[in-house]
Amino acid sequence: MLSEFDVLVLGAGPSGSEAAWALARRGFSVGLLSDSLDSVYRLEEAAQEPPAGGLMAAAWSPDPWTLQRRAKYLLEAEPRLHLFQSSAAALLTEGERVRGVRTWEGLEYLAGAVVLAVGSFLGARLQSGDLQESAGRWGEAAYPDLYRDLRERGFEFAPAFYEVPARDGAPRYRVDFMRFSAGEWDPESFALRRYQGLFAVGRVTMGGLEPSQRARAGMRLGGELQPV
């Protein structure tokens, strides 16, 4: 199976969802890939207030579950945006340009630009009490294949982490993960320097950001990116 988009966004947290929504509303065809459709725009902590404009503002509620439900509804209702569930395993490249991604099922998706908004899912280890597992968030597996592919392509990473307090019956936990090293990306354009057409935004670049900060970063990328 081969699908083609103007932009393919990997990761449907605040950064990826905001970027995808903004790009679709600008008229681009957007594929938004999530490891779990149940976790689209899921927040580990409540946002203090929404940024001006964007998806978070349109779906705003101080309750993170209500915000998640509303945001997913708006994403699904956007006609130029295709939201689907899968796990990215590797980039597809042609010379110095990214052409898309391959999923763990072997499906290929082509795009004029690819945005990595994979949050805390690269090289991730979750700890909660005596429990340790390869997970980027409670109940969600990491992306080991994509992380391995990026490492083999020469990308360099730095360690980061975030902690989530006990909430709604779920225990406290910590996630240690890898983000792109500062020299790998341009904070002005969000471009990753090793390949043309490849961008990164959110925790995968800046570490443990608060939800509104991640949303603002995704909004800015979605408002500025020009796919080829």
Q: Is the pLDDT of residue 15 over 80?
A: yes
State the virtual CA torsion across 188, 194, 200, 206 in degrees, nearest 10: -70
Give residue 14's domain range: 2-119+183-224
Q: Which of 62-71, 159-168, 209-218 has the lowest mean pLDDT?
A: 159-168
User: Which residue is associated with the tokens 């936990």?
Assistant: 173
Confidence of residue 171 (pLDDT cuts 50, 70, 90): confident
76-124 pLDDT per residue, tens: 999 999 999 998 999 999 999 999 999 999 999 999 999 999 988 999 9
Could you tell me if residue 147 is inside a domain?
no
Which pTM does this prediction carry? 0.94
Residues 190 and 197: beta-carbon distance below 8 Å: no
SS3 74: helix
Average pLDDT, the chain: 92
Question: According to the model, what pLDDT value does residue 2 have?
Answer: 58
Could you tell me if residue 112 is inside a domain?
yes
Could you tell me if residue 92 is inside a domain?
yes
- State the Cα–Cα distance between residues 167 and 44, nearest whole angstrom: 9
Could you tell me if residue 157 is inside a domain?
no
SS3 146: helix
SS3 218: helix
- State the Cα–Cα distance between residues 164 and 175, nearest whole angstrom: 9
Which DSSP letter does residue 170 get? B
**Residue 88 belongs to a domain with what CATH number?**
3.50.50.60
What is the residue type of 187? P
Could you tell me if residue 41 is inside a domain?
yes
Query: For 87-94, which contacts have Cβ atoms below 8 Å and span 24 or more sequence positions?
Result: 87/35, 87/141, 87/143, 87/145, 87/146, 88/10, 88/33, 88/118, 88/143, 88/145, 88/146, 89/143, 89/145, 89/146, 89/149, 90/145, 90/146, 90/149, 91/149, 91/150, 91/153, 91/195, 91/198, 93/195
Backbone angles phi, psi at 200, to 5 degrees: -145, 145
Could you tell me if residue 167 is inside a domain?
no
Could you tell me if residue 138 is inside a domain?
no
Provide the number of structural domains found in the chain. Answer: 1
Could you tell me if residue 31 is inside a domain?
yes
